[in-house]
Amino acid sequence: MTTKSTRYSVMFDELNQRSEIAWVPFIMIGYPTIRTSIDFIELLIESGADALELGIPFSDPVADGVLIQETARVALENGATVSKCLDALKQLRVKHPNIPFGLLTYANLVFHPGLDNFYANCYQAGVDSVLIADVPLIESKPFIVAADKNLIDAIFIAPPNASHSTLELLSNQNGAYTYVVSRPGVTGDNRAVEYPEAVVRRLLNNHAPAPILGFGISQPEHVKKAVSLGFKGVISGSAITRLILKNDSRLFDQLKDFSSQMKLATGC
């Protein structure tokens, strides 16, 4: 009998015992190749990642800024597909049985094989959660049904201007966490990070799935501020992607240093 993964709940329990929040780096699987992206993931795990947010390359990633869009474009040109990405994760899961894997993807990639097939394939690959960036909560029911059927956590976004009714709906979900975006727009557009204090406060008061802050998180100071406001984790993608796109000769050392410093800042 298959059972739903407890990786996220175990992670949050262990972090709470250590008075830390989750450090969740984002990587686009397949950039510049599947093999190299797995090397990046391995390095981030070794340098402090508590969980991973992993992009599946898509031709029209509307929620992503120009940096992450570029990695998706190159990954697709180099032959990345959903099945190849999941095969790579399946191999990675054997080596890392305990760290949560979350996917960030788009509805077309889920519809193409059929909802049940997509989520079943995710489960077989060792994926714990899926966030579909272009599916709002009010249109999410068929995705939630398919995710639940296949023992995958459906993750949803809380916008910084979310209404009370939206936050109530989010609080009634049973996913592993709530992705709170720091500001409107797309990832990594170089605007200052904002901290939606009212949103996180209401989510915490409503006992919603753990609020994790994303969009523009690029410095340890951002992490420390998130800690002070009660967030249970932070997600950073564009800052990592910027380093990878620069492709400096010290890239792996730079990634390791960045990840280590971000993790160090998660102590409460």
User: In this predicted model, what pLDDT tens digit does every residue of 122-181 receive, in sequence order?
Assistant: 999 999 999 999 999 999 999 999 999 999 999 999 999 999 999 999 999 999 999 999
What's the CATH number of domain 7-262, 3.20.20.70, 3.40.710.10, 3.40.50.300, 3.40.50.150? 3.20.20.70
Q: Is the pTM of this model over 0.85?
A: yes
Q: Is 33 helix (H, G, I), strand (E, B) or coil?
A: coil
Task: Write down the mean pLDDT value for the chain.
Answer: 95
What would the pLDDT profile of 38-47 be if each residue is shown by its tens digit?
999 999 999 9
Q: Given this model, what pLDDT does residue 80 score?
A: 98
Catalytic-labelled residue, pool 53, 77, 87, 148: 53
Q: How far is CA 265 from CA 115, 220, 231, 256, in A?
A: 38, 5, 13, 14
Residues 222-234 have a mean pLDDT of 98
Which band of pLDDT confidence, cut at 50, 70 and 90, is reported for residue 1? Answer: low
Report the Cα 8 to chain-centroid distance in Å. Answer: 12
Catalytic status, residue 53: yes
pLDDT at 185 over 70: no
Which band of pLDDT confidence, cut at 50, 70 and 90, is reported for residue 3? Answer: confident
pLDDT at 187 over 80: no
| Helix, strand, coil distribution of the chain in percent, nearest 5 | 45, 15, 35
Catalytic status, residue 64: yes
Catalytic-labelled residue, pool 20, 50, 64, 128: 64
Query: How much of the chain, in percent, has pLDDT values that exceed 90?
Result: 91
Structure tokens at 266: 């998660």
Q: Given this model, what pLDDT does residue 184 score?
A: 65
Strand partners, 147: none
pLDDT at 242 over 90: yes
